[in-house]
Structure 1
Amino acid sequence: MEKEHNFLLIDDTKYETKLTKKFLLRKTYKSDNNLKVKAVIPGIIRNVFVTPGSKIKKGDRLVTLEAMKMNNIISSPFDGIVKSVNVAIGQVIVKDTILIEFE
């Protein structure tokens, strides 16, 4: 049986690695709707930077999500107009909660 090896380049250092069968057969992440931003982890909403109708650019801050004592800035993945904001400051959310919807 031939082993499949791949190489990773990290900070100008080349590492040889073997990808496991489990890794190669994994289900890759695919967004079900590109007009919605979901929470990838549970936490508490600490700040909301946008309102419905806001025109935003890719990289603009949308919300701050506190999880595991860290503040995570959720940024816009693209340019657009905010259709709705589905969370409020202080709200406890679970994974996959829809935070922001775009037009």
Structure 2
Amino acid sequence: MENKEDKEFVDFIVTARKYKTLLTEKYKNRQVWHKPFLGDVISNLPGTIIKIEVKEGETVEAGQLLLIHQAMKMLNRVVAPVSGVIAEIGVQEGEKIGKNHLMVKIEPK
């Protein structure tokens, strides 16, 4: 068992009070978040692609239906975040995808 002296404490401040804590290995090894690129449509949940409503090269408007994604027994309508041209479709109907999978890439206007 490690001593507290062997571990690295991290400072953090909440409402003008300073605290010390230890970070877990899971937290230290987490994937670093990055802001998605404008026009990337990424899955938030693992699931299955039920229907694709667009084709590569097609022009879409913001809010237009791109595909139906089933996750947790619910059918989710995935819509275009921006207007533009479909540059890439990274899924196929019936395909099972994981979290953070790039489903559609749109080149903004």
- Say yes or no: TM over 0.5: yes
Equivalent-residue separation in structure 1 for 2:64 and 2:35 (angstroms): 19
Cα-to-partner distance string for 1:7-59 (whole Å, 9 max, x where unaligned)? xxxxxxxxxxxxxx6xxxxxxx8632113110011100000011101100011
Dislocated runs of 4+, deviation >3 Å:
none
Q: TM-score, normalised by structure 1?
A: 0.69
Equivalent of 2:72 in 51, 65, 68: 68
Q: Which residue of 2 aligns with 1:39?
A: 43
Equivalent-residue separation in structure 1 for 2:99 and 2:54 (angstroms): 21
Q: TM-score, normalised by structure 2?
A: 0.65
Q: How does 1:1-103 map to 2 (within 5 A)?
A: 31-103=35-107
5+ residue gaps, structure 1, are 1-20, 22-28
Structure of larger gyration radius: 2
Aligned residue-pair number: 76
Task: Report the identity percentage.
Answer: 26
Equivalent-residue separation in structure 1 for 2:101 and 2:34 (angstroms): 16
5+ residue gaps, structure 2, are 1-13, 15-32
